[in-house]
Amino acid sequence: MSKNHRGKGILDKYKRGRGTCPTCKRTGVKIIHEQEIDKQKIFVCKICNVVISRKEMQLKKKAETMTQAEQKSAEVKTPDVTVEEKEERMATETGEEPGTAAKTTEDE
């Protein structure tokens, strides 16, 4: 089957959709892909369209992994242990009275 209407959509555009890409400065390429850069919609070439969309995807993935990491860190809870409780545990392990270990370290 013939492809009589291929490219018909860009025939009405200025210079038939060809020009200089504003991002990579290549000349004579089809400028038909619309992208938003710095809150402005501009037309870029096929290669720049892929590069921009991949960067956006990478930023989204990075943001998702960051939020997942934050959720995991929130799930892991450290026990709230005071200094006195730590001293009591150490004293019971060594067989001393609680509070005496702290006094001996302060005297030195």
Q: What is the pLDDT of residues 1-30, one digit of tens each?
A: 788 888 888 888 888 889 999 999 999 999
**CB neighbour list of residue 101: distance below 8 Å, 6 or more residues apart:** 87, 90, 91, 94
Judge contact between 33 and 44, C-beta under 8 A.
Answer: yes
46: closest CA among 57, 34, 56, 59?
A: 34
With 90 as the cut, is the pLDDT of residue 51 above it?
yes
Judge contact between 31 and 19, C-beta under 8 A.
Answer: yes
Judge contact between 46 and 34, C-beta under 8 A.
Answer: no
**CB neighbour list of residue 98: distance below 8 Å, 6 or more residues apart:** 84, 87, 88, 91, 92
Specify the 3-state DSSP secondary structure of 34.
strand
What pTM does this model have? 0.54
